[in-house]
Amino acid sequence: MNYIRALGKVSERFLEELKGSNIAFILVIGTTDTSLIPGITVAGASPELTHYTPPADAEFLKLGKCLVIPVPPVTPDGKPTPALVSRACLLLLNIPSIVVNAGCRVRPLIPHVDLAGEPGRDIRTGNALDENVCRRILENSKMLGRELSDIFDLLIIGESIPAGTTTAMAIMVALGYDAWGKVSSASPNNPIELKVNVVKEGLRRASIDKTDDPIIAVSKVGDPVHLAVAGIAAGALENDSRVLLAGGTQMCACVAILKHLGVNLDPDMIEVGTTRWIVDDKSSDMVGLLSEIWPNYALLVAEYSMSTSKYPGLRAYDEGFVKEGVGMGGLLVTTLVRGFTPDDILRKVEEEYEKMIR
């Protein structure tokens, strides 16, 4: 397959299904107050604005503009949200997209599915979510996954949650995996030490060493989004639909939750799709994480670059900024599998970028 790097046990049948007509993109959004810790995330121009990033990403994805904030989310130094690339892919793919609110401080002002969840608290200072809220998010996301799989044969599931790599690390460590310092960052300077300290503080505060129960792990040191992504995937798989988890190291936490829920992780039914910016990143280790959690893992990597773009904001992606988010990797994989070239995609991304900066 051109422009796709296949790692692990990628299934030919799965790739065929990715070309099928009955596919939808599901964007799961939410927030954790952990994102307010200065320096932990660049998914927003300031810590306070990170609470607006997920709804703004969702609005940009659907409308090409934002409603909750006047301009699309950028990093503090102005690098544009990956929602830009995801939107370009969706325009080429012409498939439905559905926004799912797992727990946001600020709700998007477009139609979206509400899972009756709640935003996550700062994991250093209190439990992320009450256990009954976690149970509700899991129940509701599974119900949604089952219902969507009555309509669609394959769900591409992405996420937007600032500081999500930190809570992902915490969830994986709580479930017994060596995720220390292996998660990626939207910055070329991954603040690994800060993330590790926050996770350690959270685990100490919650008096948790290791648990096999994903509800406990998420409730103590997680967030609403990873649980909801796993729940939607579990519901879809239960109903014989396929799932492409679209994201970077955070998706390893979703896989860990699925595994501890007892879901059968058959690469013929579920795979992960991400960018080369993640897999080639020296400051994180997605393949290491994935293979520890899921020895039979299947990972599709989009061989897509923007280094030839005329816009510095887009070339920045090849300099280590952004890397993943809003389902970018999985959508790039799907777009490439369906026969579009990297050039087709870059042209569309630049077109949307021009509208955005106008």
- Residue 135 or 205: the one with the smaller Cβ distance to a second copy is 135
- Residue 71 or 116: the one with the smaller Cβ distance to a second copy is 116
- Residue 135 or 315: the one with the smaller Cβ distance to a second copy is 135
Would strands 97-103 and 154-160 be described as parallel, antiparallel, or unpaired? unpaired
Q: Which of 9, 107, 259, 338 binds a second copy (CB under 8 A)?
A: 107
Q: Which of 311, 314, 184, 351 is nearest to 253 (CA)?
A: 184
CB 243 to a second copy: min, Å: 17
Q: Which of the stretches 103-111, 153-161, 247-255, 271-279 binds a second copy when contact is defined by CB under 8 A?
A: 103-111
Spell out, one character per residue from 315 to 354, where the chain touches a second copy: x when CB under 8 A holds, - when not.
----------------------------------------
Q: Site size for a second copy, by CB under 8 A?
A: 20
Strand ordering across the sheet containing 242-246: 4-8, 298-302, 270-275, 242-246, 154-160, 23-30, 97-103
Would strands 298-302 and 4-8 be described as parallel, antiparallel, or unpaired? antiparallel
Spell out, one character per residue from 125 to 144, where the chain touches a second copy: x when CB under 8 A holds, - when not.
-----------x---xx-xx
Q: Which of 9, 15, 69, 147 binds a second copy (CB under 8 A)?
A: 147
Q: Is 149 in the site for a second copy (CB under 8 A)?
A: no
DSSP for 158-178, please give it. EEE-TTHHHHHHHHHHHTT--
Q: Is 61 in the site for a second copy (CB under 8 A)?
A: no
Q: Which of 7, 15, 109, 208 binds a second copy (CB under 8 A)?
A: 109
Cα-based torsion angle of the residue sequence 36, 40, 44, 48 in order, rounded to the nearest 10 degrees: 10
Long-range contact set of residues 109-113: C-beta below 8 Å, sequence gap at least 24 = 109/55, 109/59, 109/67, 109/68, 110/58, 110/59, 110/62, 110/63, 110/67, 112/29, 112/58, 113/144
Token pair of 11 as six digits: 């299934």
Chain positions contacting a second copy, by CB under 8 A:
96, 101, 107-116, 136, 140-141, 143-144, 147, 150-151
